[in-house]
Structure 1
């Protein structure tokens, strides 16, 4: 068996390409079913996020796995392979394992160390498991990936340092207020960065969001996203009386709020602390505001400085996680390479026991006067001889199968002990059982469809 991932992400494909390859929640189960029925594909998981679409497969051969998975993408989305081939990355076996672990730990994300991808990978795996498109290999691999990512975020501080301007603002606010519970947020202007920062504040418990803008209608549109209120710039002094946090990004010429305007307002507020974030370039808020007591003013450069510092800290933590990933790759690879040992050992024991049984039959025929006790003793000791003879080859087989040349070792072992016929028979039996199960499921689905039509 071979492992493959084919995908497109924010590094390899622009958004106009990525958006052509989006699996909806409703379509993913059908896609999984179709892919699992595709030639060469043994197991599969589909991972789809706003930044990536990836198809993980266990296949019988690498070249056929690549071919049929690429064909599936082209046919499912109705896009010619020439359109996306240059944006498609393909990773095989150990490289694929490393990629999955790296993605799940958040090291391949736009924001390094983010935890959202962990939940997305877990959900993709659980959905594939629900629709029975995973088996022994992926059930082990994806559980290991999720467990590793959880451990990485628990044992390191990679997720504790803000690496975006909006998150840096949240981090600063927590240092000032401790908690945003019950705090009022005032947004000046309706810029995207202001909206994103307000979104994070709202999610962190801010009680009320008010938007001030020259155009009242635009202010209302943004305020409605947070179940907030709107006001005009003329009503700004009154809004500043209530605000605990001010986010400004208006694009205005000159300062929207200066020191002389805010000074009397702070007296009315009885110097209650106010946290002011100026994301505008040129700046909206007079730098002299910082001189006022209990006014905490930060501009875009302050936030960017925090971000750069935290990016460096995350990079250090990422190096620690990479060591953890390397250890997990070794563990999984050793397990995966020994998978073929189990049927090989079973086949060897079956052949040995068959030879033993034939030998015992011959002994009974040639020595018909042996008592049951004598036959029992002979059977026990001859079986012991066989077990001793098999012990060392089986131990060595397990050791050699865990090496990179494991598949070659298994093939040589099979040839030396002439196990091909037994292994082929077992494989045919497994295929027959799988076909029988598939026919049963199709029959049940057909019966269900017939009953639904009858009801209608």
Structure 2
């Protein structure tokens, strides 16, 4: 038996290949699972398919040699080719194959966002959970993959709780929101003005709205465009000519226009700040070239960050996440070892049960002989003897049971020896 993962991701395959191999709906994944579970050698299967990766996790049934494992790999490749109507040669070189320990460690890294394009991003854990739930609904998992997927989600939870891998923002828009939160404690009472319609600015606006901001204003040189964006964000469109007046009553300003010059100047803010009674105002200038005069940052209670400032924050946070990733990897390795301790213990269970059954059979036979020989003994004494013999069997069985359950290099030899020592093979024959 073996655990195998076959897949490709953003590190190994370009997007045009990932698109061809992706399962683009739950229905497609369900159909694929139904087909795969019927294939020879595949006992359990889970498919994870996102924009950045496609991976098939398989627990092979009744496969114990390298040749048959390779046959399972070829079966999966042929399936991908037929299902997606693509020649194997188009994607085969982009695939990676991990087995057993490497397969488990890889899954735990994936679930913990250690293998993501942006390390620490939280979405992948939910995607792994959803993939597992789809497999559960199609009954393509059983004891092994059920336990494996649950341990993967548990490992991801440990990484999230025991490290700071997801704490620091690593996108420009998230970094902008993080800086704003350092200036303003309660965002729900603040107002925000979006100047222009740049994609990153809109993304930052979405994050801020998600953080509680309700008073949203939008302005653009084309007023119709401002109205369209305002409708999308439940905000208010402001004529571009009223920019200065709007700055008087706005706490946060995000600029992202295509203007080749400063839209907000130092002189403009010198006039605006007294009207604001010098209350703090925060500018995020994501425009290139810049839309807010850098000299504005010299004014009291004016906080200005441009795209380079935000990128510095992002780069610093990426380094911090990499440090935290080292801690996370130790958790992954620890949980991988625990999984295989559990898996190896399963191999010992039938032997342990057989030994205990044989010991119990011998005990019962001897008890019956004893009772037949001493028929006049009181029931209380018989019960005490029965309890005593059970206790003796349990104490004798303790050391062999622990030895068989423990993980070791020569586990197969130990199991074989136990079967021979207790005469289990001859009985089965």
Query: Which whole-Å CA distance do the structure 1 matches of 2:416 and 2:84 have between them?
Result: 40
Distance in 1 between residues matched to 2:149 and 2:255, nearest whole Å: 44
The equivalent residue for 1:289 is 296
Aligned with residue 411 of structure 2, among 406, 409, 418: 406
Give the direction of change, closer, same or farther, for the CA distance of 1:65–1:355 in structure 2 (3 Å limit).
farther
Q: How far apart are residue 410 of structure 1 and its match?
A: 3.6
Q: Give the 3 Å change call, closer, same or farther, for CA 387–122 of structure 1 in structure 2.
A: same
Which residue of structure 1 aligns with residue 2 of structure 2? 2
Q: Which residue of 1 aligns with 2:40?
A: 39
SS at 1:11's partner residue? Answer: coil
Q: Which moved more, 1:222-231 or 1:132-141?
A: 222-231
Instruction: Give 1:169 deviation, angstroms.
Output: 0.6
Quick check: 1:242 aligned with 2:243?
no
What CA distance in whole angstroms lies between the structure 1 residues aligned with 2:428 and 2:232?
63
Aligned length: 415
Output the TM-score relative to the length of structure 2.
0.85
* Alpha-carbon shift at residue 93 of structure 1 (Å): 0.8
Instruction: Find the residue that maps to 1:334 and give its secondary structure.
Output: helix
Taking a change above 3 Å as real, the CA distance of residues 83 and 422 of structure 1, as seen in their structure-2 partners, is farther
Q: Aligned equivalents of 1:25 and 1:223: distance in 2?
A: 34
Call closer, same or farther: CA 1:264–1:124 in 2, change over 3 Å: same
- Write out per-residue CA displacement over residues 44-89 of structure 1, whole angstroms, 9 at most, x where no aligned residue: 2222222222222211333233222223322222222222112222
The residue number in structure 2 matching 1:30 is: 31
Residue among 165, 186, 202 paired with 2:172: 165
Measured at CA, do residues 2 and 420 of structure 1 come closer, stay the same or move farther in structure 2, by a change above 3 Å?
A: farther
* Partner Cα separation in structure 2 for residue 234 and residue 373 of structure 1: 111
Counterpart secondary structure, 2:187: coil
Q: Please give the alpha-carbon distance, in whole angstroms, between the structure 2 residues aligned to 1:316 and 1:186.
A: 36
Contact 2:344/2:405 (CA < 8 Å) preserved in 1? no
Residue 17 (structure 1) aligns with: 17
Q: 2:129 and 2:150 mapped to 1: Cα distance?
A: 8
In the aligned structure 2, how far is the partner of 1:23 from the partner of 1:95?
A: 27
Give the unaligned 5+ runs of structure 2. 64-68
> How far apart, CA to CA, are the structure 2 residues paired with 1:351 and 1:113?
52
Given the alignment, which residue of 109, 117, 120 partners 2:124? 117
Deviation at 1:179, TM superposition (A): 2.7
* Stretch of structure 1 that moved more, 275-284 or 74-83: 74-83
Match of 1:196 in 2: 203
- Distance (Å, rounded) in 2 between the aligned partners of 1:23 and 1:406: 42
**In structure 2, C-alpha distance between the alignment counterparts of 1:220 and 1:407, rounded to whole Å:** 72
Equivalent residues in 2 for 1:359-378, closer than 5 Å: none
Deviates more, 1:268-277 or 1:227-236: 227-236
Distance 1:179 1:277 in 2: 18
Tell which has more relative contact order, 1 or 2 (C-alpha 8 A, sep 6+): 2
1:278 maps to what in 2?
A: 285
Residue in 2 that maps onto 1:322: 329
Q: Deviations over 1:111-144 (max 9, x none)?
A: 2112222222222223323332222222222222
Match of residue 182 from structure 2: 175
1:356 positional shift: 8.3
Distance 2:413 2:91 in 1: 35
Q: Which residue of 1 aligns with 2:58?
A: 57
Query: Does the 8 Å CA contact 1:347/1:422 hold for their aligned counterparts?
Result: no
> Is the CA contact 2:194–2:201 (under 8 Å) kept in the aligned structure 1?
yes
Maintained 8 Å contact 1:347/1:423: no
Equivalent pair of 1:334/1:403 in contact (CA under 8 Å)? no
Unaligned stretches of 5+ in structure 1? 425-456
Q: 2:106 aligns with which of 93, 99, 109?
A: 99
| Equivalent residues in 2 for 1:214-253, closer than 5 Å | 214-253=221-260
Task: Give the conservation status (yes or no) of the 8 Å contact 1:210–1:223.
Answer: yes
* Deviation by residue 1:282-331 (Cα, 9 ceiling, x = unmatched): 21110011122221101112111211222222222211111122211111
For 1:151 and 1:304, the matched residues in 2 are separated by 29
Deviates more, 1:285-294 or 1:224-233: 224-233
CA–CA separation in structure 2 for the residues paired with 1:167 and 1:388: 61
Deviation (angstroms), 1:421: 8.5
TM-score, normalising length from structure 1?
A: 0.80
- Greater displacement, 406-415 / 273-282: 406-415
Displacement of 1:170 in angstroms is 0.8
Show the counterpart of 1:187. Answer: 194
Cα pair distance change 1:175/1:382, threshold 3 Å: closer
The answer to whether the Cα contact below 8 Å between 2:7 and 2:53 also exists between their aligned partners in 1 is yes
Match of 2:274 in 1: 267
Cα distance between partner residues in 2 of 1:421 and 1:229: 85
Aligned to 2:315: 308
Q: Deviations over 1:417-451 (max 9, x none)?
A: 67569889xxxxxxxxxxxxxxxxxxxxxxxxxxx
SS in structure 1 at match of 2:25? coil
1:240–1:63 Cα change, 3 Å: same
Task: Tell me the distance in 2 between the aligned counterparts of 1:332 and 1:373.
Answer: 54
- The CA deviation at 1:351 is 5.9
Matches of 2:190 and 2:11 in 1, distance apart?
A: 38
Q: Secondary structure at the match of 1:325?
A: helix
